Amino acid sequence: MKKRCMHYTFHHGGAVKGANKDLQQIQAALQTGNLETVDYWTKKLSYHLSSHILHSIFWTNLTNKKNDPTGNLLKRIERDFGSYDKLKGYLSKISKDVDGNGWGILGYQPYTDKLTLLQCENHEKLTQWGVIPLLVIDVWEHAYYLKFKNKRNDFVDNLFNIINWGIVAQRLDIALKLS
């Protein structure tokens, strides 16, 4: 629990504090009409708010029991990736191979009505407009260094044992209703 608390409090909490500060700075610039720094604070907000959103999804994607996708989610996985094992292999590979820090993301792309995978460096880079994240894998070093040291691959492999596919399925149902 202590490891998760550090991750949650220090890293995720830092993103929340950062986003709040960024918003305050943007608001101050708008109120004074001095827009010299607004570009800087907008970029910082993108970084911090993306971190907050992805961490918020990450926490709910975890459970203490192994389960597999079922129902409509499984049907879409099979349609878009061929099988659950192929999705797992693909998502695992892109998560392990993120350059530096970032995320592996399973998302729903409403424009194509398909599930898609993203390899996201940092928080705000390499996205597809309109993709709704359903499952995220945090491969920033802070997510795994206490338990797995520098072994990102082991962390990703072990994470599949505690993914809450029921929550992922709920996110897909919501995404389908929104599109």
Which tens digits make up the pLDDT trace of 23-38?
Answer: 999 999 999 999 999 9
Taking the C-alpha atoms of residue 95 and residue 159, their distance in angstroms, rounded to an integer, is 11
Q: What is the largest CA-CA distance in the chain?
A: 55
With 0-12 / 13-18 / 19 or more C-beta atoms within 10 angstroms meaning exposed / middle / buried, residue 127 is: middle
- Give the mean pLDDT of the chain: 87
Which residues of the chain register pLDDT less than 50? 1-2
Q: What is the pTM of this model?
A: 0.81
Write down the pLDDT at residue 1: 41
| Domains, the chain, with CATH or none | 2-60 (1.10.287.990), 71-178 (3.55.40.20)
Q: Which residues contact 33 (CB under 8 A, 6 or more apart)?
A: none
**Quick check: 123 and 14 in contact, CB under 8 A?**
no
Neighbouring C-beta atoms of residue 59, cutoff 10 Å = 14
Q: How far is CA 25 from CA 21, 41, 44, 156, in A?
A: 6, 7, 10, 37
Q: Compute, in degrees rounded to 10, the torsion defined by CA atoms 52, 103, 106, 149.
A: -110
